[in-house]
A = this chain, B = another copy of it.
């Protein structure tokens, strides 16, 4: 990898560029987990408990899908649940949920401040929140205070 270098042509920035795509793929990995814990936290706050069925309903997904996903989240130490019972968040789960809520709130309020409708802000923020870096989030927050 040092001496030959057969076809450099002009692809020198390739590695640099690939970083963005790698980040997007990594974000997608954590996205589902974050959506779940955020939703579970909301349900617990709103109704006192979170049941798998409610999660499925809000996510717009089949019940079985949620059961499977919850198993993975349990393996990751984010939630705890016994069969046929309500879902609980672990310490890590709450931390992730809080982080997601904070980020979500900023993005949604930012979109509103930018002038889009409430409906669009709600929908777009759901997709955008997972791809906003710390720096961009800070810039959005700053924009909010200035307006």
**Which residues in window 83-123 of A have CB below 8 A to B?**
111, 114-117, 120, 122-123
A126 touches B58 (CB 8 A): no
In the bound complex, residues from chain B placing their C-beta under 8 Å from that of A47 are 9-10
Residue among B59, B61, B136 making CB contact with A124, cutoff 8 Å:
B136
Size class of the contact patch on chain A: 35 or more
0/1 per residue, A8-22, Cβ < 8 Å to B? Answer: 011100110111111
Instruction: Quickly give the copy total for this chain.
Output: 2
- Specify which chain B residues have a CB less than 8 angstroms from the CB of A143 in the assembled complex: 114
Asked if A11 and B57 make an inter-chain contact with CB atoms under 8 angstroms apart, the answer reads: yes
A122 to B136, CA, bound (A): 11
Asked if A6 is an interface residue, CB under 8 A from chain B, the answer is no
Bound together, the chains give a CA A116 to CA B132 distance in angstroms of 11
Give the interface of A toward B (CB within 8 A).
9-11, 14-15, 17-24, 27-28, 35, 46-47, 54, 57-61, 111, 114-117, 120, 122-124, 126-128, 130-133, 135-136, 139-140, 142-143
